[in-house]
Amino acid sequence: LYRNLGPINGSIRLMQDVAIRVLREEGVGAYVTEEKVYEVAQSILGFPVNLLNGSAIAEYISSIKQKAKLDIHGQDHIIDKVADMWAQVLEDNERSLRAGMIMGGMGLGKTDLVNVLGKVIFNSPERVHRIRGEEVNSKDNLWTQFGATIGYKGADKTPGRLMEWLENPVGGKFGGVLLLDNIDKADAKFWERISGLLENGQITGGDGNVRHANNLLVLMTSSKGHEILVPRGIENWPLAKLEAHENSFSESQLKDILADVTVGTDESAIDSNVLNLLDFFSLAHLITPEKLLAIAEIKTDLWKEQTYKKRKLHIHVSDRLRDYLISSGYRMQEGFRSPYKQLLKYLNKARDAATQNWNFKRNDHVNLDLVQTEDKSLKIMISVEEQNDPIYIDAPEEIIDNPLENEKELEKLSGLLDYLNSRVYGWEETNQAIFDAIFSYRTSPKKLRNRPLSIMLVGSTGTGKSELAKALAKHLYGNEKAALIQHMGEITEAGEKSTIFGSARGYAGSNDLTALEQFVRTHERTGGVILLDVISNMGGGNLQTKEALFKLFYGMIEEGTWTPPSRKKSYDLSKFIFVFTGNDGEKLFQGLSADEMRLAVWKANNKKERIREILRNAGIPEAFLGRMADLILAKPLTVEVMKQVTEKLIAPTREAFASHGVELEISKPHLDQFVQSFFSQDKGARSLRDMIEEKLIGWVGQLYLQVRSKAKPNQKIKIQLKVFDNLPNTAYVEDSSFSREVKVQLDASIDDQWVGSLEREVGSYAPHKTRMTKEATVITAYHESGHANSNDPSVTGEKIAYVTIKGSGGNLGYARYEPLSMDVASDNYTRTKLLYKMASILAGQRAQQLAGFEPDSGWESDLHSVRNLAYNYFVRWGDLANSSTASLIADKNHKLILESDEIKNSLQQKIASMVIEADELAVKLLLKNWSAVEAVKNALLVKSELSDEEYSKIRSEALANETEEWVLSDTGRAIKKSQATRRWQDFLSSPFSRQITYKSKIPSISQSELVDISLNEAFLSSNLQPDTYIYGKPNSDIDILSAKGLERCSRILSGQNQGDI
């Protein structure tokens, strides 16, 4: 009773108080008994039981438990523990305080539990003092509770609320409950001040006076560690598993959670020395659906009692309505608070609607019920006795576990595809694939949606991937801010991962929140879109680094949780959509400018296995790709689509100038030219956006400043944009000295009267587009047509995917091949297949020559390719036709280890021989298909590019109309056989036969000697180049150069050093 007075003075004070009480009640001469002393003590303390009576105390503690459990459901274990602790306080003469921590998720009623215990134990709300952690989260806020320290103004007058409560007999002087609510948010200085109270029952206020704890319960609450105590998906656990989880936490584990630093939140770590002063730690249990309904019944009855006291109305709430109101707002992880608020909200709305509609008398009755209307919507029906017409108000929306029955969700999803198409132009098929993945995910049962939706989107730069993320966020989550776009290509080393995922605990920056963690923290409850851009570039070219970085995402997309390196807190990712993007599709469209060509390539490659192959070749682990819900190849942007995009990009500029009385106008022809001149396939839509934002806006502003003084008030200035470009649409230019000029012209007018112009030469801003001379274009067309038409799919297993004479980089054009079927494995190389492959490569240069053009440097890369193929044939594969080179030893890079002049010479001769054989085959195939070569060449000159369908049609029609065989002329050109002279017909029909017979009018070398000459062997032995061929001119004497070449060959073969022709 009087701990602050000490044992002697306290005893004297007790005798005085008891004597005064007995004197007042019984008068002079009365005796003071021991029972009377405890009766007075009980009265002063405010206890409902005599502390001398052991059985009464036991009954008292039991009654505390029973009464508390009537008001608090599902937390019996905490009620029992606190009541037992209170019994210890009453029986302990040495220590008059007990302290404990109640932990658990939010909304579990921890604060209500403490308030109820205070009311039950002391029968007075004044005996409970609450300090919220948010109120003492800085040292500047401590004065409110502890008072100003000595030396500061008011220290002697305002001791602080806690100090006042501890001194107040009606408050906590003789016992009470000190509630420290959400105390993990308190500042460290608070713990320094409160630790003395916990340790020895004394606390010194700012005024220097000491206050004593007297029969005090210090009960603390904390939601810290919510993600550990209430893990994601726990609402789907069986009851037995849930109970086992709740009972699995020891007090030491709960201590560890409280002592842990939680970076990026307003939670603070509680010093372990303080935690060691507490008497118990307990975990509040989750509110199960069964507990929820029981609590709802108690709260509804309480609401009805309070309503009657205030308004004298009897309100009857049907069980159906009560249970629906509490359940429709229920989420196990969020506890009771949210559904209880919803219950009260709608009960109050119904009561208010009734009082506004009817004039009630004392003790009137109102009925509230839940009904379903004809349109299947739920309403709260409010009816009054003796009133025929009830009134209705909307009921809250129901949380539907089956998404297919959730009309609002289905309505949102049904409009998603149209919305995506309105935001991301030209992506109809891509948007459809994305929509399908999202619809499948969001309409699956809730229990299956325990991880995020993950999509891999492959495409080119500037095709709309960022716009997609914003559109998804806006439609699905209500705000574009629910989208995070994180650029991953900057992470090339494993050590750079901290910029995205955060630093490990103890390292620099570990206390900082990354953009990813900040976004997840903000949107964890509602979800959002996380676009991880160019993720395939992550890790650079190092495959081990790349794989290690990709592994960081496995748990996120598979388990649906993410624990940053410096945290113990795990985030729930199940409501997020992950869109991983890569620019790996750029290689597919490299050098392609024609829309139909790009679309044809996209269509041919938009297959899951093909996309998987592209990504695997980029170094993305198969384990990562296997975790994707879908692999999607973004549809390339066409010029027509870019015209729509440009309209959209320029709209904000129009609106901005319109607000200042300036009308910006672009006619369709000039808009089309704007796109043609400035659109770059490499940069995508970004190329046009940059031109608008970085140049056009400034030019319009300059012209406006130039002419604005000419406009009268309320007159509008019209500015027209015109674009001029002299670049021809053909693949070639007529003049080899051609210089491209691109000009932007802005014309300003007022009331259709010209008032000023601005011109800019902008050729340097337009993407570079190569044009060839007309002759070079024809040569290139023959070259690529030769490659294509010498390919025999039945042998090589490959077909033409497309042919172009508008190349990129150092290539003026090229032909692209693809397997005959993506579903059938290609055959291994045989000697025949290799020869046909080599012939197809050599046929480009040969086609130029057969058309009458000189060989050029384009021969170099083709010849290098075929020599490498031949080298591989002999060194890597060991000559599949015979085992003559099977014994060659090469290292892992297929380079010969045991080299000798003999091996080198032999290998070179074999390679040269195979190249010549392939070259002969190339000529043979070209002559066989020369009409198709000409037809494809002509088509390329017109269209510049051909798809596989176009190429196949042109080729088949040309060959179908072929009526005559093609042969070589004496000058090496392809001619029809009927045009060749009779003298050369036999020779031209097979110009590269192994045996050549040459008849001469001046034979110094006999015919028999010439018959045995093998030109292939002659070329090898004489060091002549493999592409040098020696012919005589028909109807004339032997050409002197050809004669000398034959002479040299024959001499070397016969061992002679000289001789006459």
pLDDT digits (tens, 9 = 90+) for 658-689: 888 889 999 899 988 888 888 877 777 778 88
* Partners of 458 in the β-ladder: 582, 633
In a domain, 1011, yes or no: yes
8 A C-beta contact, residue 777 and residue 941: yes
**Token pair 């709209």 in the structure block, residue:** 651
The dihedrals phi and psi of 899, each to the nearest 5 degrees, come to -105, 140
Contact 438, 577 (CB under 8 A): yes
- 980 occurs within a structural domain: no
pLDDT at 1034 (0 to 100)? 38
Question: Quick one: 633 and 644 in the same domain?
Answer: no
Residue that terminates a domain, selected from 620, 637, 654: 637
- Is 993 within 8 Å of 1004 (Cβ atoms)? no
| 1012 within a domain of the structure (yes/no) | yes
The confidence score (pLDDT) of residue 277 equals: 93
Strands, E assignment, 779-921: 798-804, 814-819
Which stretch of DSSP H or E encloses residue 947? strand 945-947
Answer whether 567's CB lies under 8 Å from 267's CB.
no
Give 371's contacts (C-beta < 8 A, 6+ positions apart).
378, 379, 380, 381, 392
- 360, exposed or middle or buried, with CB in 10 Å at 0-12, 13-18, 19+? middle
What letter would DSSP give residue 404? Answer: G
From the CB of residue 823, how many other CB atoms can be counted at a distance below 10 Å?
8
Position 275 scores a pLDDT of 92
Q: How many CB atoms lie within 10 A of CB 1043?
A: 18
**DSSP single-letter state for residue 125:** G
> Given the structure tokens 């020696």, which residue do they identify?
1030
Alpha helices by DSSP H, listed for 619-759, are 622-625, 639-658, 668-678, 685-691, 697-707
Q: Cα dihedral sign for 923, 924, 928, 932?
A: negative
Q: Which two tokens stand for residue 37?
A: 């002393």
Q: Is residue 154 part of a domain?
A: yes
Q: What Å distances lie between residue 534 and 27, 495, 531, 591, CA to CA?
A: 95, 18, 9, 21
Distances (CA, A) of 657 to 643, 661, 674, 700, 704: 21, 7, 20, 9, 9
Q: Which residues pair with 529 in a beta bridge?
A: 483, 577
Give me the half-sphere count of Cα atoms (radius 13 Å) on the Cβ side of residue 342.
Answer: 24
Please indicate, yes or no, if residue 1060 is contained in any of the structural domains.
Answer: yes
Number of independent structural domains in the chain: 7
Q: What is the CATH number of the domain that holds 88?
A: 3.40.50.300
Q: Does one domain contain both 294 and 150?
A: no
Q: Looking up tokens 């003071």, which residue turns up?
A: 32
Q: Are residues 331 and 475 in the same domain?
A: no
Same structural domain for residues 952 and 1003?
no
| Cα angle value 243/248/250 (rounded, 5°) | 140
**Are 948 and 859 found together in one domain?**
yes
Distance CA 297, CA 440 (A): 39
CA 193 to chain CA centroid, nearest Å: 47
Closest to 611 in 3D by CA, of 576, 642, 580: 580
Q: Find out whether 303 and 344 touch, Cβ atoms under 8 Å.
A: yes
Distance in angstroms (rounded) separating the CA atoms of residues 250 and 396: 40
Q: Contact 890/930 with Cβ under 8 angstroms?
A: no
C-beta separation of 575 from 448 below 8 A:
no
Residue with tokens 């030019």: 699
271 and 350 share one domain:
no
CATH number assigned to the domain comprising residue 332: 1.10.8.60
User: Which of 846, 740, 858, 775 has the alpha carbon at shortest distance from 810?
Assistant: 858
In a shared domain, residues 590 and 479: yes
Sign of CA pseudo-dihedral 1010, 1013, 1016, 1020? negative
Name the token pair of 835.
């020869």
Outline where DSSP puts E strands in 323-446: 364-372, 378-384, 391-394
Burial class (CB in 10 A: 0-12, 13-18, 19+), 566: buried
Q: Hey, what are 730's tokens? A: 């053909």
Please, what's the b/e burial string for 436-456 (b: 16 or more CB within 10 A of its CB; e: otherwise)? Answer: ebbbebbeeeeeebebbbbbb
973 within domain boundaries: no
Range of the domain at 300: 289-399
CA–CA distance, 126 with 134 (Å, rounded to integer): 21
Check if the beta carbon of residue 800 is closer than 8 Å to that of residue 784. no
The pLDDT, as a whole number, for residue 787 is: 94
Taking the CA atoms of residue 408, residue 410, residue 412 and residue 413 in that order, the dihedral angle to the nearest 10 degrees is 160
| Together in a domain, 652 and 715 | yes
pLDDT score, position 540 = 81
- The C-alpha atoms of residue 863 and residue 855 are separated, in whole angstroms, by 12
Specify whether 789 is located in the same domain as 700: no
Same domain, 539 and 602: yes
Element (H, E) at 487: strand 483-487
Count other C-beta atoms under 10 Å from residue 368's C-beta: 23
Contact indicator for 337, 110 with CB cutoff of 8 Å: no
Give exposure, 71-100, as e/b (b: 16+ Cβ within 10 Å): bbbbbeebbbbbbebbbebbeeeeebbbbb
CATH number at residue 857: 1.20.58.760
Count of Cβ atoms closer than 10 Å to residue 833 Cβ: 17
CA distance 442 to 449: 8
Dig out the tokens for 465 from the structure.
């991937």
Locate all alpha helices (DSSP H) within 217-283, ordered by sequence.
226-229, 239-246, 251-259, 272-275
Structure tokens at 879: 């000559």
User: 1016-1048 pLDDT, tens per residue?
Assistant: 444 444 444 433 444 443 344 444 444 445 555
Sequence-separated (6 or more) residues with CB below 8 Å from residue 838? 866, 869, 870, 914, 915, 918, 921, 922
* Whole-number Å distance between alpha carbons of 979 and 977: 5
Taking the C-alpha atoms of residue 787 and residue 844, their distance in angstroms, rounded to an integer, is 5
Stretches in the chain below the pLDDT threshold 70: 3-4, 46-48, 51, 106-109, 150-157, 232-233, 261-267, 333-334, 398-408, 445-449, 506, 509, 568, 591-594, 596-597, 807-812, 822-827, 858-859, 878-900, 981-1061
Contacts of 835 (CB under 8 A, 6+ apart): 914, 917, 918, 921
Cross-strand pairs, 853: none
Report yes or no on 983 lying in a domain.
no
Cβ pair 489, 534 in contact under 8 A: yes
Side chain identity, residue 56: A
Residues 584 and 467 in one domain: yes
If residue 839 lies in a helix (H) or strand (E), which one and from where to where? Answer: helix 831-850
Q: Using CA atoms, how far apart are residues 1061 and 1049, in angstroms rounded to an integer?
A: 12
Identify the DSSP state of 875: I
How is 140-154 classified by DSSP, letter by letter? Answer: GGTHHHH-PPTTSTT
| Calpha distance 922→929 (Å, rounded) | 11
What is the torsion angle, in degrees rounded to the nearest 10, for the CA atoms of residue 517, residue 520, residue 525 and residue 530?
A: -170
Distance of CA 4 to the CA centre of its chain: 64
Examine the fold and report which residue of 940, 962, 984 is the final residue of a domain before the chain moves on: 962
Q: What is the DSSP letter of 977?
A: G
Q: Domain for residue 424, yes or no?
A: yes
Q: Are residues 878 and 1006 in the same domain?
A: no
